[in-house]
């Protein structure tokens, strides 16, 4: 039994059987990365190119580590120091890399749909590591996997995603993934940062942070994506923090203990304070560890399709 898709371009291409298969495979790989010898020969002789047209720390390192743990050969490519800055097109760039006999491409791109576009023009398998404000499938998978690890199951759990929903690829992928796994999802943030037709995705909308936090089991705190904002969506970061920033005082005043998540990078003191990020209710570093296991699972299962 394998995945129903040849590429991982977005959560919307996966069915529930795919999600469960990825999670079960990640369980095995999590055992692998916690033992003294962390390497398995599963992808020996497979060459993977990491092509990043946008800045990244965690995602790029996580993919690279996952690839090396699977014994794949890894090629890293950063657009800022490449011929892209000389005017080379996306297809030419990738075809030149593929001419060197690369089997799989992990790509992050500032434009939505870049992975889908590329999948129609090249033969290699593609993993979307984030395309603009569209999707970030492996982040949603590792978030859902972390909830499953904490609670035993995702179905029936109440998850609120707080912050800049409008510009967040993490929010969209998380909504699609959590809904498919049977969770209840709410988004919370200023009206200007909530997309107009978010209701069509079957999520609740709340503008009051305290109400949202009292409703949920898990709060996923997103950062404000200033690099994607072409106009001002709120008066100031200070005002945003006063209304939507999570601090220890708010956390301790809630009716029940909730779990705090964050996809990173954290802007400490804006959407979340240090004492919350480092508290025992936070599973932020577990998410980072699970990211390697999930990405190992995705790469392994896709390579099995080839």
Who's near 28: CB < 8 A, 6+ residues apart? 297
Asked if 126 contacts 6 with a C-beta cutoff of 8 angstroms, the reply is no
Please indicate if the annotation marks 223 as binding a ligand. yes
Please indicate if the annotation marks 136 as binding a ligand. yes
DSSP 224: P
**Which helix or strand (DSSP H or E) is residue 21 part of?**
helix 16-33
Please indicate if the annotation marks 235 as binding a ligand. no
Please indicate if the annotation marks 139 as binding a ligand. yes
Please indicate if the annotation marks 58 as binding a ligand. yes
Q: What angle do CA 17, 119, 22 make, to 5 degrees?
A: 20
DSSP string, 26-68: HHHHHHHHTSSS----TTTT-EEEEEESS--SHHHHHHHHHHH
Please indicate if the annotation marks 169 as binding a ligand. yes
Query: d(Cα 251, Cα 247) in Å, to the nearest integer?
Result: 6
- Residue positions forming the annotated binding site for L-aspartate: 86, 169, 223
- Residue positions forming the annotated binding site: 58-59, 86, 108, 136, 139, 169, 223, 264-265
- Residue positions forming the annotated binding site for carbamoyl phosphate: 58-59, 108, 136, 139, 264-265
């Amino acid at each position: 039994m394998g995945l129903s898709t040849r590429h991982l371009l977005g959560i919307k291409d996966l069915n529930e059987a795919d999600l469960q298969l990825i999670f079960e495979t990640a369980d095995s790989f999590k055992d692998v990365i916690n033992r003294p010898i962390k390497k398995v020969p599963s992808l020996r002789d497979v060459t993977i190119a990491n092509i990043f047209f946008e800045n990244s720390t965690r995602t790029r390192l996580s993919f690279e580590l996952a690839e090396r743990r699977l014994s794949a050969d890894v090629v890293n490519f950063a657009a800022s120091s490449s011929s892209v800055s000389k005017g080379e097109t996306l297809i030419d760039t990738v075809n030149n890399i593929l001419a060197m006999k690369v089997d799989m491409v992990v790509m992050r791109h500032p434009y939505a749909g870049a992975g889908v576009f590329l999948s129609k023009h090249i033969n290699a398998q593609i993993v979307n590591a984030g395309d603009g404000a569209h999707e970030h499938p492996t982040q949603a998978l590792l978030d859902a996997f972390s909830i499953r690890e904490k609670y035993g199951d995702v179905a029936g759990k109440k998850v609120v995603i707080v912050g800049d929903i409008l510009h967040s690829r993490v929010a969209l992928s998380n909504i699609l993934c959590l809904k498919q796994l049977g969770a209840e999802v709410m988004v919370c943030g200023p009206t200007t940062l909530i997309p107009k037709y978010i209701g069509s995705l079957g999520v609740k909308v709340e503008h009051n942070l305290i109400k949202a936090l009292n409703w949920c089991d898990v709060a996923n705190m997103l950062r404000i994506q200033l690099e994607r904002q072409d106009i001002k969506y709120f008066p100031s970061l200070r005002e945003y923090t006063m209304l939507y920033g999570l601090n220890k005082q708010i956390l301790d005043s809630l009716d029940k203990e909730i779990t705090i998540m964050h996809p990173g990078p954290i802007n400490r003191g804006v959407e979340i304070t240090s004492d919350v990020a480092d508290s025992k209710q936070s599973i932020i570093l577990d998410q980072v560890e699970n990211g390697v296991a999930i990405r190992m699972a995705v790469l392994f299962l896709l390579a099995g399709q080839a």
